[in-house]
A and B are shown apart, each in its own frame.
Chain A
Amino acid sequence: DQQVKQNSPSLSVQEGRISILNCDYTNSMFDYFLWYKKYPAEGPTFLISISSIKDKNEDGRFTVFLNKSAKHLSLHIVPSQPGDSAVYFCAARGSSNFGNEKLTFGTGTRLTIIP
């Protein structure tokens, strides 16, 4: 049972326009949500995160929005650049008593920026 879902396997966006990547989750106990970016033949790298007590977090061209009532989060990239072409994974962290909680990942969305 996929607790974190990315329903769009791929997305193509014109350079300079906005890229919007979406993610849905089912577990209301998740306390942090993250986006990771992955280039071919490399490991995923952390991009941006948001606490479940917030609804927006911004870092340069990247903004993550969280809608808890809809159990939905999105990543906005403005403006999109060719170097943003990669696979983007949405991830959610469940709380535990150990202080090093595990992440549940979605299946990823391949973003292609068209020059």
Chain B
Amino acid sequence: DAGVIQSPRHEVTEMGQEVTLRCKPISGHNSLFWYRQTMMRGLELLIYFNNNVPIDDSGMPEDRFSAKMPNASFSTLKIQPSEPRDSAVYFCASTSGLRANTGELFFGEGSRLTVL
């Protein structure tokens, strides 16, 4: 079975440019999470969706960040304009059912973003 699919795997861009990261959750999963990993802060939750509805976006750093989930099989995380401090690995994760009850998430391989 296909896992969580993220694209692009690597993105190098210049400060001020728009960045869009994409995620396809595991089929049948109804919860989707966006995390950011940095050395200093580890894995930080940015936003999560339940049944395509944003539930908690308190981790979104500022208005430059936005996320959408137009349907059950696709989500985007957009940064506009990007800044060097946004450089990190961004992970998408999904879960559903009993595994959601115990907190088990299935992560994608991540999108490594470098903003010059």
Does residue B95 face the partner (Cβ distance < 8 Å to A)? Answer: yes
Whether A102 lies near B33 (C-beta < 8 A) is yes
**Stretch in B11-19, B64-72, B73-81, B104-112 touching the partner:** B104-112
**Stretch in A39-47, A61-69, A72-80 touching the partner:** A39-47
User: A43–B104 Cα gap in the complex (Å)?
Assistant: 13
A contacts with B, residue count (CB < 8 A) = 25
| Other-chain residue from A6, A46, A104 in contact with B105 (beta carbon distance below 8 A) | A46
| A5-22 contact mask (Cβ, 8 Å, vs B): 1 or 0 | 010000000000000000
A92 to chain B: closest CB distance in Å? 8
B contacts with A, residue count (CB < 8 A) = 29
User: A39–B95 Cα gap in the complex (Å)?
Assistant: 20
Whether B103 lies near A91 (C-beta < 8 A) is yes
A84 to chain B: closest CB distance in Å? 19
Given known A89-B43, A98-B50, A105-B42, contact A43–B102 (CB-CB < 8 A) = no
Interface residues of B, Cβ cutoff 8 Å to A: 4, 30-31, 33, 35, 40-45, 48, 50, 55-56, 91, 93, 95, 100-110
Interface residues of A, Cβ cutoff 8 Å to B: 6, 32, 34, 41-46, 49, 51, 89, 91, 93, 98-108
